[in-house]
Amino acid sequence: MGCCFSEPVDFDGEVNLYHFDLHRAVGKGAFGKVRVVEHKRSKKLYALKYIEKAKCIRQKAVGNIIQERRLLEEINHPFVVNLRYAFQDDENCFFVLDLMLGGDLRFHLERTGHIQEEIVKFWIAELACALEYLHGQKIIHRDLKPDNILLDAMGHAHITDFNVAIHYSERRLHTSVAGSMAYMAPQVVGKKGYSWQIDWWSLGVTAYELLFHKRPFDGRSADKMTHSILKDPLVFSEDATTRCSESGISALRGFIDRDPKTRLGCNPNGQGFQDIQRHPWFAGIDWQAIEKKEVQPPFVPDMKQANFDVSHELDEFLMVEKPLTHSKRKANPDLEKMKPELRQLEEQFTVYDFANMQRISYYPHNQDITAVGRESGMTDRTMAQSATGTIVPTATIVERSQAGTPLPTDSPQQSLSRASVSRSRRSPPLHQGPSPPIPNSTNGYAI
- Would you tell me how many other CB atoms lie within 10 Å of the CB of residue 328? 11
Task: Say if 428 falls within a structural domain.
Answer: no
**Domain identity same for 46 and 155:** no
Number of domains in the chain: 2
Task: Say if 434 falls within a structural domain.
Answer: no
**Domain identity same for 112 and 261:** yes
* Whether 414 contacts 169, CB under 8 Å: no
Annotated binding-site residue numbers? 49
**Domain identity same for 69 and 201:** no
Of 178, 24, 149, the closest CA to residue 444 belongs to: 149
Sites in the chain below the pLDDT cut of 50: 1-5, 317-320, 371, 373-393, 400-442
**Domain identity same for 212 and 291:** yes
- Would you tell me how many other CB atoms lie within 10 Å of the CB of residue 407? 16
Task: Say if 398 falls within a structural domain.
Answer: yes
| Domain containing residue 244: CATH number | 1.10.510.10
**Domain identity same for 65 and 181:** no
* Whether 444 contacts 34, CB under 8 Å: no
**Domain identity same for 200 and 342:** no
| Domain containing residue 349: CATH number | 3.30.200.20
Eight-class DSSP state of 251: H
Task: Say if 48 falls within a structural domain.
Answer: yes
Known active-site residue 286: no
Distance separating alpha carbons of residues 114 and 209, to the nearest angstrom: 8
**Domain identity same for 51 and 114:** no
Backbone dihedral angles phi then psi of residue 284, each to the nearest 5 degrees:
95, -10
Q: Which amino acid is at 373?
A: G
Annotated binding-site residue numbers for ATP? 49
Cα Rg, the chain, nearest whole Å: 22
**Domain identity same for 281 and 169:** yes
Task: Say if 173 falls within a structural domain.
Answer: yes
Quick one: which H or E segment has residue 172?
strand 172-173
Task: Say if 432 falls within a structural domain.
Answer: no
Alpha helix positions (H), 297-380: 311-317, 340-348
**Domain identity same for 324 and 255:** no
Distance separating alpha carbons of residues 59 and 384, to the nearest angstrom: 19
216-274 tens-digit pLDDT? 998 889 999 999 999 999 999 999 999 999 999 999 999 999 999 999 999 876 789 99
Distance separating alpha carbons of residues 395 and 390, to the nearest angstrom: 15
Task: Say if 164 falls within a structural domain.
Answer: yes
Of 99, 55, 66, the closest CA to residue 345 belongs to: 66
Task: Say if 12 falls within a structural domain.
Answer: no
pLDDT at 328: 76
pTM over 0.75: yes
- Identify the domain containing residue 259 by its residue range: 105-304+380-406
Of 6, 37, 42, 143, the closest CA to residue 356 belongs to: 42
**Domain identity same for 65 and 209:** no
**Domain identity same for 119 and 86:** no
**Domain identity same for 268 and 214:** yes
Distance separating alpha carbons of residues 256 and 205, to the nearest angstrom: 7
From 10, 90, 104, 143, the catalytic residue:
143
377-429 tens-digit pLDDT? 333 333 334 333 444 445 677 664 443 444 433 333 332 222 222 323 322 22
